[in-house]
């Protein structure tokens, strides 16, 4: 890539043609979709026999035909139906009291959503008021760090503040990320509890008409202090270099509007007028704010610069997605029909190196399978140290993503074994 060139993703990828989907989807769903671990995940080890039977799926077909309340008895039936209808998009819903496909035969009011993973949806469009590089469906390497910061902050809070162990992060295939929290206790949360967790993680509040969207109180909540540590590690690279938030007169004016005290705002404006880049101005502002605090002038707004960081960097969650037990969310490993990219799991431990522009498209994957087959001796190759044939996903750039997913499912299996042993012990008491 040439110096100064910025990788960018638009609504449509130039390497992918949506018109090819009818030809590519049969290959993908037959040879690459990871049905085995996918079924293990959503059946949760079969601890509850009806759990998978009562899970809702929805399909979006060609020409935006939308079908809800799909359900399957086992992995085989799910595979066959997906390969029969070739959905352009798959969404996963709740576990109901009855099989979703039989919902019309159930008495009114008896068909109820009972359980579902706690989910989070973070979309780059919700940051449009603080992005200086892109807007709408577009993302680039200058704004993608917002998703990295969001994953780090939310994942730490879910793990440390709530004790949730099983968290699956997934790239949406276009401009955002999803999180599935899969602990048994989490799947049984009420709508009230889900709302409370989502609100706990919501700091940036207010619609388009509201300028200042973050207000912090003293003392700062411990969770927000941890979030600040994460954001601080990205400030220099993201805010000052990639977004250059104080680099133009309009950007400077926009930030200054976030300071409610007109006196402080005027002092900071004078600091900025002394020149320098975004980092130079910010460092002068830090000295000024420190001086004002020492004079006891910051009682009404104790964290003015921190509030700017939170407004520009803190995760922006779609609370409505998280609070509803009956809300559907795009499935991992489905294809985003507008970009052709796979909705791949993200390794949180290596999130800094996740590149959304390197996520394979369905076109790329199908091409890789063909190219692999053409190599001498590769068609019937076996996995090292085994007699098992190399699986098709291992022949493509989807391999790492499937391995990340397998690692997550393997982590869940510890919970399943414990639950099955517990159930066995209870049966032995009778």
Q: Active-site residue 3, yes or no?
A: no
Distance separating alpha carbons of residues 55 and 67, to the nearest angstrom: 14
Contact call for residues 212 and 257 (beta carbons, < 8 A): yes
Residue 390 per-residue DSSP state: P
Beta bridge mates, 58: 91
Q: Active-site residue 56, yes or no?
A: yes
Distance separating alpha carbons of residues 59 and 89, to the nearest angstrom: 6
Distance separating alpha carbons of residues 428 and 38, to the nearest angstrom: 32
Residue 94's closest CA among 66, 118, 120?
A: 118
For residue 76, give every residue at least 6 positions away whose Cβ sits within 8 Å of its Cβ, in sequence order, or none: none
Residue 88 per-residue DSSP state: S
Distance separating alpha carbons of residues 345 and 368, to the nearest angstrom: 20
Q: Active-site residue 350, yes or no?
A: no
Return the beta strands (E) in 17-141 as ranges: 55-61, 65-70, 89-96, 113-115, 118-123, 139-140
Residue 65's closest CA among 82, 80, 87?
A: 87
Residue 311's closest CA among 121, 127, 175?
A: 127
Contact call for residues 304 and 293 (beta carbons, < 8 A): no
Q: Spot the catalytic one: 123, 292, 307, 368.
A: 123
Handedness of CA 241, 243, 249, 254 (dihedral sign): negative
| Cα 381 from chain centre | 35
Residue 103: how many other CB atoms lie within 10 Å: 16
Q: Spot the catalytic one: 115, 117, 121, 292.
A: 121
Catalytic machinery residues: 56, 121, 123
């Amino acid at each position: 890539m040439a110096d100064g060139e910025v990788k960018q993703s638009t609504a449509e990828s130039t390497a992918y043609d949506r018109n090819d989907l009818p030809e590519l989807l049969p290959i993908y769903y037959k040879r690459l979709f990871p049905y085995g671990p996918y079924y293990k995940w959503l059946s949760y080890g079969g601890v509850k026999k009806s759990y998978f039977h009562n899970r809702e799926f929805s399909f979006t077909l060609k020409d935006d035909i939308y079908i809800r309340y799909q359900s399957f008895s086992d992995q085989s039936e799910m595979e066959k139906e997906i390969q029969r209808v070739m959905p352009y998009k798959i969404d996963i819903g709740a576990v109901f009291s009855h099989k979703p496909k039989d919902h019309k035969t159930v008495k009114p009011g008896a068909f109820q959503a009972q359980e579902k993973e706690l989910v989070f949806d973070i979309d780059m469009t919700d940051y449009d008021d603080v992005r200086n590089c892109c807007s709408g469906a577009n993302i680039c390497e200058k704004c993608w760090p917002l998703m990295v910061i969001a994953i780090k902050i939310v994942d730490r809070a879910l793990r440390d503040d709530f004790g949730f162990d099983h968290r699956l992060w997934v790239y949406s295939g276009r401009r955002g990320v999803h999180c599935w929290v899969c602990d048994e206790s989490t799947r049984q949360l009420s709508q009230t509890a889900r709302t409370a967790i989502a609100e706990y993680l919501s700091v940036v509040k207010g619609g388009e008409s509201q300028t200042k969207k973050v207000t912090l109180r003293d003392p700062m909540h411990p969770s927000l202090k941890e979030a600040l540590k994460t954001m601080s590690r990205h400030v220099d690279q993201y805010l000052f270099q990639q977004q250059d938030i104080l680099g133009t007169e309009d950007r400077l004016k926009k930030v200054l509007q976030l300071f409610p005290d007109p006196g402080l705002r005027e002092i900071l404006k004078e600091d900025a007028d002394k020149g320098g880049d975004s980092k130079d101005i910010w460092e002068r502002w830090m000295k000024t704010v420190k001086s004002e605090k020492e004079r006891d002038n910051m009682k009404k707004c104790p964290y003015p610069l921190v509030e700017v960081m939170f407004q520009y960097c803190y995760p922006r969650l779609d609370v409505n997605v998280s609070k509803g037990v009956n809300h559907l969310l795009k499935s991992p490993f489905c294809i985003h029909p507008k970009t052709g990219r796979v909705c791949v799991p993200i390794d949180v431990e290596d999130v800094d190196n996740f590149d959304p522009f390197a996520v394979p498209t369905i076109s790329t994957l199908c091409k890789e399978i063909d190219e692999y087959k053409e190599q001498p001796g590769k068609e019937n190759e076996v996995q090292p140290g085994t007699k098992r044939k190399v699986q098709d996903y291992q022949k493509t750039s989807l391999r790492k993503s499937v391995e990340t997913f397998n690692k997550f499912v393997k982590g869940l299996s510890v919970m399943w074994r414990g639950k099955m042993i517990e159930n066995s012990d209870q049966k032995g008491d009778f």
